[in-house]
Structure 1
Amino acid sequence: MPTTASAAQKTANQRRRKTSPARRDDEAPVIPILARKVREVEAKAQRGKLGPTNRVKFQVIAFLVREERARVKADTDLTDASRAELLKRLDGVATILAKTAARDTSLIQLLEVDQATSPVAKRMRRDWLLESGAELAPDELIITDVAPKVTSVVPEALAERQVHPPQVEARRESNPFLAPDLSARAPKETPRRRLDGWELMGPLYKAFETGAGGGAATMPLPEVPEFDRLSPKGLEIMPHQSRFLEAVREGHRSFLLADEPGLGKTAESVLAASVANAYPLLAVVPNVVKMNWAREVERWTPQRRATVITGDGEDIDAFADVFIVNYEILDRHLSWLGSIGLKGMVVDEAHFIKNLTSQRSQNVLALATRIREQVRDPLLLALTGTPLINDVEDFDAIWRFLGWTNGEKPGPALMEKLDQTGLTPADKAFYPEARGAVISMGIVRRKKKDVAADLPDKLIADLPVELDDEFGRSIRQAERELGERLAAKYRRIIDARGDRGLEPGEIDADIVRLVAQNELEESKAAGTGADNVFTMVRKIGQAKATLAADYAVQLQRSVDKVVFFAKHIDVMDTAEAHFAAAGLRTVSLRGDQTTAARQQAIDAFNSDPGVAIAVCSLTAAGVGVNMQASSNVVLAELSWTAAEQTQAIDRVHRIGQDEPVTAWRIIAAHTIDTKIAELIDSKQGLAQRALDGDAVDPQSSDSVQLSALMHLLRQALGGE
């Protein structure tokens, strides 16, 4: 709706135009500028590239059209013919705005704003009016930034769950004022950059997905210092750890530490906090490694105190330097953790936050945002040996945590690096440069073979077993029935839409994917009811349990200690009963144990010669556990991801291991188990390509479950 200009606006508008850029525009020199700007916005909208800058431009054009229309109608010096001509030209600009809004309906709400509200919009309006030759009032020339709005770290839905440990109140009362960080001021206005109008997140992911430029994804690190001044007496950090810590000493503060599992990321993080004096430090970790983290703090920085947060935190040491909390209970501690002046944060197994819709991810990101609001250049560390699970966009949450991006565009520091390349995503050379720019922000990825020459290689050996009993035959029959059920759905779709030119025997890949995806979604919703890909894999694990346990017994007699991994509790129970019948002592690592009981089991396995086998859950013992007393692993059941399998094997393939490591995978022959093993191995190529720069042929980023179902369907259709 047109609005009437205020008296001040009329006066200011009537003072415009000491000079006129063109004869026909003497009476309204701002109109050609609006016409040019609206064409720019229209062109961006047609290409689907209407980013934040062009949305603001759209908004400013809309209310300048209204201002100018009101001025023209109120100007008594204009003839009726001139007024009609100017209004016609303004209507032309408004028509283009309307067409653009029809293309992108989210713009419609911007048409309702009557004045420039944000500093960016006010500057844009000022600059265009000055370009037109207008004389503006002093209050229109000087535009100040508004203070950034500080959002609450605690979502409204979690407010009632917040706890307030008494010890924290004692800490506040002993020092009621946080030491001010005078460097953490409102940021200066970000200068306009050449790449501001480009969509950059997609190209950044593509740069990693294609392994553009090759080479390991590791930022340049300083050389190893001549003396080790960090290790406490009796300990010594390794050269690769020392180089990382030198980067911290030189002032780098945000890292994706993606070293392969077993290279001492926990120790590096503990020492990094000491180098950066990033205390209080928060470590958000999986529940199973909380005790190990406290031990590492005591071991590497004995002058610092660590406290483990459990439950509602009644027993915490609020005066500690390092607070250790697990993901599951972080939600109830957000309030006080966001208010005690944290200067650093470590997220262990950072791939746990990859799902941005999950509460754990939102909690971590909210705390990281609060820390950046309070402290200039806090220490932020994301630790994960497997940052990519199925897709390169798994980087998204980690990059947000580190402040490198906000999910929609790069942050100022990364944008500056990209701008310095002098390239755009339209240039092929942009992609290796972009990958290098992100890596230089703080990605550190070292492989064992590169940094620990004395660490033996690991071998994964597959042991096919034949399920030749009634149970095995029923599993194979269930697989055939599932394949036929999928094939029937496929044929119904083909019959309904026609073959559309398919050659005899040719299979439509898109329909195969559609049918498999639908089956996967139904299987997830159905749980363990009817036969589906999940129930079949579980039955296969049950059928292999005794065979795998028997092999572990034989292996133990030859090599001493063995680590036995399974996914399901009933498989673990069967194995433990078999080991007991064979006279072997075992320890068990399960998800329902307390942290103390789990650590006691680990210590017994590593130090007690009488403990022969550790029976471990793939999910509960797959991270943060050191079991290098063994060099042999039996994988009784397969995981759904290559990352989970790697994590399990690397419980023994770690610093301190002095023997070659072998992982024995028990594979049920002639079942979907064989295909799953093949798919898991193929997924290794994603991390190798994106992080290590290896020339690995691109593989599908589909999940193992989806790929397995597609395989079953093709097999039933005679395609495989």
Structure 2
Amino acid sequence: MKVSAEAPHQLIYSLFEHEYLGLLFESFVVQLNEKGKLSFAYQNISYKNAHEFAASCDEADYKLIRLMDSMQQEEVVKPFNKKKLKPKEFLRKIFDPQAPNQQLIDLIRQNMDTKRAQILELLRNKRLFVMGSDGNPTWKEIEILPKRAQVLFHFMRNEEVTHYWPTIKYQGELVNWQFNSSYLICHDPAWMIAEDKLYSFKKGVDGYKLKPFFSKKRIIVKKAVEEVYYKKFITQLVSSFDVHAEGFDIIVERSKPQGILTFMDFAEGKMAQDLFGNKLAVEEESKIVFTLHFQYGSYRFRADNRVLSNAELEKIGDEYTFYKVVRDPDFENQLLERLKSLGLHIQSSKAVMKKTEAFDWLNRFKTTLEEEGLQFVQRQAGEKEKRYFVGHAKINIRLAENIDWFDVHAVVKFGEHEIPFHKIRKYLIKGVTEFELPNGEIAVIPRSWFVDYGEIFSFLEEETQPDSTTTSLILKKHHIALAQELNENKLLKVSLSDKLRKLQDFTQIEDYPLSTYFKGKLRPYQQAGYNWLRFLNEYSFGGCLADDMGLGKTVQTLALLAHRKEAAEGTTSLLIMPTSLIYNWEVEAKKFTPKLKVLVYAGTHRIKRAAQFSAYDVVLTSYGITRIDIEILKSFYFDYIILDESQAIKNPGSRIAKAVNELHCNHRLILTGTPVENGTMDLWSQMNFINPGLLGNQNSFKKQFLLPIEKQADTDKIVKLHATIKPFILRRLKTQVATDLPEKVINVRYSSMTAEQEKVYEEVKSRYREKIAQEFSISGLRNQQFTLLRGLTQLRQLANHPRLVDKGYTGDSGKLEDVIHMLDATASEGHKVLVFSQFVRHLAIIREYLEEKGMPYAYLDGTTKDRREQVTKFQEDKEVKVFLISLKAGGVGLNLTAAEYVFLLDPWWNPAVEAQAIDRAHRIGQENKVIIYKFISKETVEEKIMALQERKLALAGGLISTEESFMKSLSKEDIDALLD
């Protein structure tokens, strides 16, 4: 009979007996009459159509309906019915009394009982009925009792037998459940219907303990089997349930529990020389095992023994005594949670820690936990006794500012034993974790010392005092940020002059007057940059001026060089830069520092003699010349060596990086808009040039920073690295300081591929997706990154124009059509536009179009010889509206303020490089709004790269990636998304 969901109705559940599967439940919806009572109109519902009656269903109802659906015979037999018999026929066969499949029968019954238990718990606050023989689901209603009943097991022993029977109480009243058609619905745990009421039971009583007594008053245990019965059955009942006994004793232990935490060696380390020349342990994989027990009077239980009570039987003569220990689960759980909150995760009663971590933990929390009542016990592993020092270990370090360094004063104590600091330092650097104290105890260096002090200890240097053999430890001043960080975290004390403290916030540095040799006026933020450069000079620190492109790094540097001419007359500074920038520096020097004598040391006709340098204030040269003439240049001692576009030395193993580090000078400075391009090692190379040793050697930097940042995305390490280099890098963004610059508007123009272009794109994508999937399935194959890079590059090229991949392609490109349309529109309106692409072949296609149309243009890529003329043509010739530029060749060193539009034809891996391209136009001197268009082909890898880059770059801010580090950062899920 159909029930209307629009009229009043109610969801009910009905219990009926299946021929083979026992008691089952079914869900029904019943129409309500005008009095709000259940009518005879009902309908069976399943999970498939339950949504039709959503107004009457809550979350529990949906769970119940799904469980009841799974108990239907069709669903029960499905996993076993391989021959696809009808469900009834299949059940008849396995339940055949002549040849039952008992194993399968037991499995099905167990499964059904599990589902009954789940259903019965969910039925609370629902309506349950017994189904009538005519199928009426509301024949008899069963009251579901909200509380659980209590079962009390009785034993009465006399000289001949033991009587055993259970009684049931609900809310303190005896339940009448025997000899009156009561029955079990579920056995494990027990659920029972008696007098039309549904009972559940405390302590999870199983139904098999009640089943014999529905039709039997009691069970009699004869004397002959008494002892076995007591040991196997009654002991278990006493342990788990409430038992009333006559004829034997039950003694209950309810003492206050105590936690006991034992610790011992898991593995022995190797022994080397110790602090005083004796034995010294060098740990490899040595660990400490903690084991937690709970003590109740004279009884002890492991933490993984979660039985709430325990019983043991004692027989003396003919008398039986049961000893029962009732445990306190709240206390035990609170102690487990307390230990977990302190970093000790107990699992299966044990926790394992590296030895240094374990003793660090003990050093921090042992006293507190003992005060809270936890007992600690040290145990030995094996026959050899090894007593560990378990007490308070502390280290006090103080740094005092000297002229060129910090003097280091330190005291190390393990309990009452004071240890020489320089020896502890050597152990920390070498990774030695334990040593023997004078009293024979083994002291373990806490792991926190390795974490907190390992880095600064590696930077300490030994200094022999003049006219003395005494050696002291010093720390160079360029490690000030690390020292201040440890000071703020109360790990050491550092005494700083007010002046040096200002290095942490350059805005507090006082104003320095400009030299008379400088002609011009600095903007406020440029003055602040000049102040910072002067401050670094006073303390002989190297620095990295990393302002945004177009903010005037050149003019700030020239202001410094003008000061140096005044303060250190007769000295010469060397500026090294890409060849393309030499002319720009020459022009700017004539403009702002006309009295500085400048030598351009470049070209094939240069005079290769170092002696000539002393006649000049500034020498301009290129990275290429520096590499070729390194023997000449390193023979001269310069005042300043300044690297412009210093990312040229980002690879510390390159010839140019090695060459510039051979040069000699008083001060070092680097200028760059992108101190990090390919990865974190770029930063090390440049910072090591300006402040040697600031970030340690390459190996230590790789371990301390590069691997955690690039492989594990460790944000704490990023913060630490930034803190270390912060005093020596000054970076201001246009948005922060150049508020007088015109507006910059960035637009994304999405292009649809043509049908022919899309077909080629999908073919290549499918090929590479299959190839990469095969390579990732082969263990140990190392060229997946190369294959992925090659595949993504081809897909990016196809998204631009298939001719970049296939010269024979004769079809169109959706992006090209959009670019041409936009070029025509901007040029016709009299606007000038910069067109950037990573791919020179892409520029060639645009170039071909411009030549066909007869549109004049300027052009620049890595092979362009007349670079200066091309820039001048675009800037000054009103007829030249378009400048085609290779992104790598034209991303730096150009002032193209004549442009009002910037077109980025293909998204670049590194947004910072795109930003540099944009800044060719959006820089000081620009008077017009700069409008940027980024062209992206829809539903291609270009869109997905942009989304990925936004997520990846959010990690580090200034630590920017290109192909190599971008590839390394991709997970398998990222790759799947790119090639989807």
Gaps in structure 2 of 5+ consecutive residues: 1-272, 288-353, 358-420, 431-436, 444-460, 488-502, 699-714, 803-814
Q: What is the identity, as a one-letter code, of the residue corresponding to 1:653?
A: H
Query: For the residues of structure 1 that align with 2:902 and 2:769, how far apart are their CA atoms?
Result: 33
Q: CA deviation at 1:342?
A: 0.8
Query: For the residues of structure 1 that align with 2:607 and 2:816, how far apart are their CA atoms?
Result: 42
Q: CA deviation at 1:356?
A: 1.6
CA contact (8 A) 2:547 2:732 kept: yes
In the alignment, does 2:631 pair up with 1:335? yes
Match of 1:191 among 462, 470, 474: 474
CA contact (8 A) 2:600 2:620 kept: yes
In the alignment, does 2:650 pair up with 1:354? yes
Distance 1:195 1:579, change over 3 A: closer
Higher relative contact order (CA 8 A, sep 6+): 1
| 1:95-244 to 2 correspondences below 5 Å | 142-143=468-469, 190-191=473-474, 219-222=506-509, 232-233=518-519, 235-244=520-529
Distance 1:682 1:324, change over 3 A: farther
Q: CA deviation at 1:570?
A: 1.7
CA contact (8 A) 2:599 2:620 kept: yes
Q: Which residue of 1 aligns with 2:828?
A: 557
Q: CA deviation at 1:218?
A: 6.0
SS of 2:914's equivalent in the other structure is helix
Query: For the residues of structure 2 that align with 1:541 and 1:708, how far apart are their CA atoms?
Result: 23
Q: CA deviation at 1:536?
A: 2.9
Q: What is the identity, as a one-letter code, of the residue corresponding to 1:298?
A: K
Distance 1:438 1:477, change over 3 A: same
Query: For the residues of structure 2 that align with 1:312 and 1:229, how far apart are their CA atoms?
Result: 35
RMSD between superposed Cα atoms in Å: 5.0
Q: CA deviation at 1:709?
A: 8.5
In the alignment, does 2:276 pair up with 1:34? yes
CA contact (8 A) 1:347 1:383 kept: yes
CA contact (8 A) 1:487 1:716 kept: no
Q: Which residue of 2 aligns with 1:270?
A: 558
Distance 1:34 1:482, change over 3 A: same
Distance 1:321 1:669, change over 3 A: same
Distance 1:352 1:476, change over 3 A: farther
In the alignment, does 2:795 pair up with 1:521? no
Query: For the residues of structure 1 that align with 2:797 and 2:822, how far apart are their CA atoms?
Result: 19
Q: Which residue of 2 aligns with 1:703?
A: 965
Match of 2:574 among 282, 294, 302: 282
CA contact (8 A) 1:245 1:268 kept: yes
Match of 1:383 among 671, 674, 679: 671
Distance 1:322 1:710, change over 3 A: farther
Match of 2:882 among 613, 622, 627: 613
Q: Which residue of 2 aligns with 1:399?
A: 687
Q: What is the identity, as a one-letter code, of the residue corresponding to 2:601?
A: I
Query: For the residues of structure 1 that align with 2:558 and 2:477, how far apart are their CA atoms?
Result: 40
Q: CA deviation at 1:665?
A: 0.9
SS of 2:599's equivalent in the other structure is strand
Q: CA deviation at 1:588?
A: 0.9
Q: What is the identity, as a one-letter code, of the residue corresponding to 2:506?
A: M
In the alignment, does 2:932 pair up with 1:667? no
CA contact (8 A) 1:258 1:383 kept: yes
Q: What is the identity, as a one-letter code, of the residue corresponding to 1:454?
A: D
CA contact (8 A) 1:553 1:579 kept: no
Distance 1:438 1:710, change over 3 A: same
Q: What is the identity, as a one-letter code, of the residue corresponding to 1:191?
A: I
Q: What is the identity, as a one-letter code, of the residue corresponding to 2:726?
A: I
Q: CA deviation at 1:472?
A: 3.6
Query: For the residues of structure 2 that align with 1:254 and 1:637, how far apart are their CA atoms?
Result: 37
Query: For the residues of structure 2 that align with 1:336 and 1:433, how far apart are their CA atoms?
Result: 39
Distance 1:437 1:304, change over 3 A: same
Query: For the residues of structure 2 that align with 1:363 and 1:432, how far apart are their CA atoms?
Result: 31
Q: CA deviation at 1:605?
A: 1.3
Q: What is the identity, as a one-letter code, of the residue corresponding to 1:401?
A: F
Distance 1:272 1:38, change over 3 A: farther
Distance 1:40 1:435, change over 3 A: farther
Query: For the residues of structure 2 that align with 1:474 and 1:708, how far apart are their CA atoms?
Result: 25
Q: What is the identity, as a one-letter code, of the residue corresponding to 2:584?
A: N
CA contact (8 A) 1:652 1:661 kept: yes
Q: CA deviation at 1:344?
A: 0.4
Report which stretch shifted further, 654-663 or 386-395: 386-395
CA contact (8 A) 1:455 1:657 kept: yes
Whichever structure has more strand as a proportion of its residues is: 2
CA contact (8 A) 1:203 1:431 kept: no
Q: Which residue of 2 aligns with 1:542?
A: 801
SS of 2:888's equivalent in the other structure is coil
Q: What is the identity, as a one-letter code, of the residue corresponding to 1:387?
A: P
In the alignment, does 2:699 pair up with 1:444? no
Distance 1:259 1:685, change over 3 A: farther
Query: For the residues of structure 2 that align with 1:360 and 1:193, how far apart are their CA atoms?
Result: 27
CA contact (8 A) 2:515 2:562 kept: no
Distance 1:287 1:689, change over 3 A: closer
Query: For the residues of structure 2 that align with 1:445 and 1:638, how far apart are their CA atoms?
Result: 25
Q: CA deviation at 1:620?
A: 0.5
SS of 2:764's equivalent in the other structure is helix
In the alignment, does 2:910 pair up with 1:641? yes
Query: For the residues of structure 2 that align with 1:401 and 1:264, how far apart are their CA atoms?
Result: 22
CA contact (8 A) 2:650 2:682 kept: yes
Distance 1:218 1:642, change over 3 A: farther
Match of 1:455 among 741, 751, 757: 741
Q: CA deviation at 1:246?
A: 2.6
In the alignment, does 2:586 pair up with 1:299? no
Query: For the residues of structure 2 that align with 1:577 and 1:409, how far apart are their CA atoms?
Result: 51
SS of 2:629's equivalent in the other structure is helix
Query: For the residues of structure 1 that align with 2:275 and 2:896, how far apart are their CA atoms?
Result: 70
1:11-33 alpha-carbon deviations (Å, 9 max, x no partner): xxxxxxxxxxxxxxxxxxxx985
Query: For the residues of structure 1 that align with 2:651 and 2:787, how far apart are their CA atoms?
Result: 21
Query: For the residues of structure 1 that align with 2:791 and 2:616, how far apart are their CA atoms?
Result: 50
CA contact (8 A) 2:745 2:930 kept: yes
Q: Which residue of 2 aligns with 1:82?
A: none
SS of 1:460's equivalent in the other structure is strand
SS of 2:631's equivalent in the other structure is helix
Q: Which residue of 2 aligns with 1:474?
A: 760
Query: For the residues of structure 1 that align with 2:743 and 2:953, how far apart are their CA atoms?
Result: 16
Q: Which residue of 2 aligns with 1:424?
A: none
Report the TM-score, using the length of structure 2 for normalisation: 0.45
Q: Which residue of 2 aligns with 1:567?
A: 838
Q: What is the identity, as a one-letter code, of the residue corresponding to 1:403?
A: N
Q: What is the identity, as a one-letter code, of the residue corresponding to 1:292?
A: N
Report which stretch shifted further, 36-45 or 401-410: 36-45
Query: For the residues of structure 2 that align with 1:716 and 1:660, how far apart are their CA atoms?
Result: 35
Q: CA deviation at 1:58?
A: 11
SS of 2:746's equivalent in the other structure is strand
Distance 1:59 1:481, change over 3 A: closer
CA contact (8 A) 2:909 2:963 kept: no
Q: What is the identity, as a one-letter code, of the residue corresponding to 2:622?
A: N
1:355-393 alpha-carbon deviations (Å, 9 max, x no partner): 2222222222332xx32xxx3xx2x21211222335445
Distance 1:58 1:704, change over 3 A: closer
Q: CA deviation at 1:291?
A: 1.4
Distance 1:120 1:315, change over 3 A: closer
Whichever structure has more helix as a proportion of its residues is: 1
Query: For the residues of structure 1 that align with 2:725 and 2:930, how far apart are their CA atoms?
Result: 34
SS of 1:343's equivalent in the other structure is strand
Report the TM-score, using the length of structure 1 for normalisation: 0.59
SS of 2:889's equivalent in the other structure is coil
Query: For the residues of structure 1 that align with 2:742 and 2:754, how far apart are their CA atoms?
Result: 37
1:194-239 alpha-carbon deviations (Å, 9 max, x no partner): 999xx99x999xxxxxxxxxxx9963453556x7655855x32211
CA contact (8 A) 1:487 1:713 kept: no
Distance 1:626 1:519, change over 3 A: same
Query: For the residues of structure 1 that align with 2:858 and 2:655, how far apart are their CA atoms?
Result: 33
